[in-house]
Amino acid sequence: MEDLLASTVPPGTVVSGEIYESGPLAAPTHGNVYPEPFIVHPVTPHTYTIILLHGRGSNGPKFGAQFIGTNTSTGKKLPEIFPSAKWIFPTAKKRRAVIFKRIPIHQWFDVYDIDNRSYKEHLQVDGLQETTQMLHGLIEEEVMNGIPRERIVLGGLSQGCAASMYAMLCYDLRLGGYVGMCGWLPYAKYVEDILGTSPDEEDDEDADVFGESDDEEGANPKTKGEIDKDHEEGEGTKGPIVEAISFLRENISFPRVHDKPLVLQTPAFLGHGALDEKVRFNLGEQARDVLNGLGFEVTWKGYDDLGHWYKIPDEIDHISEFLTGVLGPG
């Protein structure tokens, strides 16, 4: 690992690893100690924090060193462009993977087959719950250290994208931004059914998994302007968006919401490779459409010649542009 850090981390970058233990803020269901996160400290006064999760089978130091060591088209690396950013790359706990004969691997949650998501989908719940609690606690720690929530970015790659997106949707308040790469949204089909945006939807009143109708609001996906207008006019607390968020929260034993949470105002970036052999491109498109249906402002980038990774330097440029747009220059 030292060789990897030496070859990828920009000279002068300060990195460290600290044990992150879920405390009262994270409120874990079980005893919950995560491995050391890989942390890249800012070289100028700390003004914002970016938290990114690795993919299944990887770890924070490996993914983090590779990511921050990647050049943009200008030849600069992200820590050089954003010198006041603190980068946090947590490492997933080892969980037994059913598909690998229960061999323990670093994964945020267990999953049997993302292409057949209704099969053994219950395997995802415990990991999603613990990961969500951990991330919420990590966000609150940054807030306690003086960083406003509006200057905290969450995201990840592959399963890290899936887990962090789910955790974001279960958060209450607006964040600075979200960055997802080659990922998907767990239980997206249920959210589509509640919103009435499922491609299989045929005006079936029973499609709502809660078994109730929410009048014309769920008939068609709303535009961003219509959703903003609803907020301005003080729309009632019932509706498909509230039900969809409540479903995701209740699925991991979080309380329901009674109004649209402010986290829906978080700007999001999603990038996906058209040649992705591990997480199919249409799953990324589905995640994009669900976020749009919930009212997010989504920047979407598809990369024709990219597989299961991030596009260098194009996507790194796009992420840099997105971060500059939502947080301001570094």
> All domains of the chain, ordered by start, with CATH?
2-186+260-327 (3.40.50.1820)
Q: For residue 8, what are the contacts with CB-CB under 8 A and spacing of at least 6?
A: 65, 66, 68, 69, 70
Q: Is the peptide bond before 148 cis (omega within 30 degrees of 0)?
A: no
Give residues with Cβ within 8 angstroms of 212, minimum separation 6: none
Please report the pLDDT score of residue 33 as a whole number.
Answer: 76
| One-letter amino acid for residue 329 of the chain | P
- Cα–Cα distance between 74 and 77 in angstroms, integer? 9
Among residues 328, 319, 327, the alpha carbon closest in space to that of 77 is found at 319
Q: Quote the pTM value.
A: 0.82
Residue 3's CB is within 10 A of a number of other CB atoms, namely: 7
User: Strands, E, within 152-240: which ranges?
Assistant: 152-157, 177-181
Phi, psi of 315 (to 5 degrees): -70, -35
Contact 280, 115 (CB under 8 A): yes
What pLDDT is attached to residue 19?
34
| C-alpha span between 132 and 29 (Å, rounded) | 11
Question: By the 8 A CB rule, do 170 and 321 touch?
Answer: no
Geometric angle at alpha carbon 100, from 94 and 106, rounded to 5°: 20
Q: DSSP character for 278?
A: S
Token pair in block for residue 60: 């924070």
Decide if 128 contacts 24 (C-beta within 8 A): no
Cα dihedral sign for 95, 168, 321, 280?
Answer: positive
Give the pLDDT of the chain (330 residues) as one tens digit per residue. Answer: 444 444 455 555 656 554 333 333 333 333 457 888 999 999 999 999 999 999 999 999 999 999 999 999 999 999 999 999 999 999 999 998 887 888 899 999 998 776 766 677 888 999 999 999 999 999 999 999 999 999 999 999 999 999 999 999 999 999 999 999 999 999 999 999 999 987 764 444 333 333 333 333 333 444 444 444 444 434 445 799 999 999 999 999 999 999 999 999 999 999 999 999 999 999 999 999 999 999 999 999 999 999 999 999 999 999 999 999 999 876
Give CA–CA dist 64/193, Å, rounded: 36
Burial profile 93-118: b = 16 or more Cβ within 10 angstroms, e = fewer: bebebeeeeeeeebbbbbbeebeebe
- Distance CA(226)–CA(242), nearest Å, equals 16
Concatenated DSSP letters of 13-76: -EEEE--EE--TTT--SS--EE-PPEEEE-SS---EEEEEEPPTT--HHHHHHHHHT-B-TTS-
CA-to-CA distance for 21 and 62, rounded, in angstroms? 21
